A and B are shown apart, each in its own frame.
Chain A
Amino acid sequence: MSVTRYTNDHEWVRQDADVAVIGITDYAQQQLGDVVYVELPDIGRQLEQGKEAAIVESAKAASELYAPVSGEVVAVNETILGNPALVNEDAMGEGWFIKLRLADPKQLDALMDETSYQAFVAEQG
Chain B
Amino acid sequence: MADSADSPALRRTPLHDLHVALGARIVAFAGYEMPLQYRPGIIAEHLHTRSKAGLFDVSHMGQIRLHGGAAAALERLVPGDLQALAPGQMRYTLLLSEQGGILDDLMATRTGDGLLLVVNAARKEADLAHLEAHLDRAITIEPRFERALLALQGPAAAAVLARFAAGVERLPFMTGAEVSVCGISCFVTRSGYTGEDGFELSVAGDDAVALADILLNEAEVAPIGLGARDSLRLEAGLCLYGHDIDETTTPVEAALPWTIGKRRRAEGGFPGAAIIVQQLADGPGRRRVGLRPDGRAPAREGTAILDAAGAPLGRVTSGGFGPSVGAPVAMGYVAAAHTAPGTPLSLVVRDVPRPARVAALPFVPARYYRA
Contacts and interface: CB of A to CB of B under 8 A. Distances in A.
B296 A34 contact: no
18 contacts: A33-B41, A33-B42, A34-B41, A34-B42, A36-B43, A36-B320, A37-B297, A37-B298, A37-B321, A37-B328, A59-B41, A59-B320, A59-B321, A60-B2, A60-B320, A62-B298, A62-B300, A81-B296
Contacts of B42: 33-34, 59-60
Nearest to B43: A34
Contacts of B44: 34
B231 interface: yes
Contacts of A61: 300
A59 B47 CA distance: 13
Interface string A62-104: 1000000000000000000100000000000000000000000
A39 interface: yes
Contacts, number: 44
A57 interface: yes
B370 interface: no
A59 B350 contact: no
Binding site secondary structure of chain B: mixed
Chain B interface size, as a band, is 10 to 19
Interface centre among A36, A57, A59, A81 (most CB of B within 10 A): A59
Contacts of A62: 298, 300, 350
A57 B320 CA distance: 9
Chain A interface size, as a band, is 10 to 19
Interface of A: 33-34, 36-37, 39, 55, 57, 59-62, 81
A39 B296 CA distance: 10
B297 to A, nearest CB: 6
A67 B2 CA distance: 28
Closest 6 CB pairs of A and B: A36-B321, A59-B42, A34-B43, A34-B41, A37-B296, A33-B41
B227 interface: yes
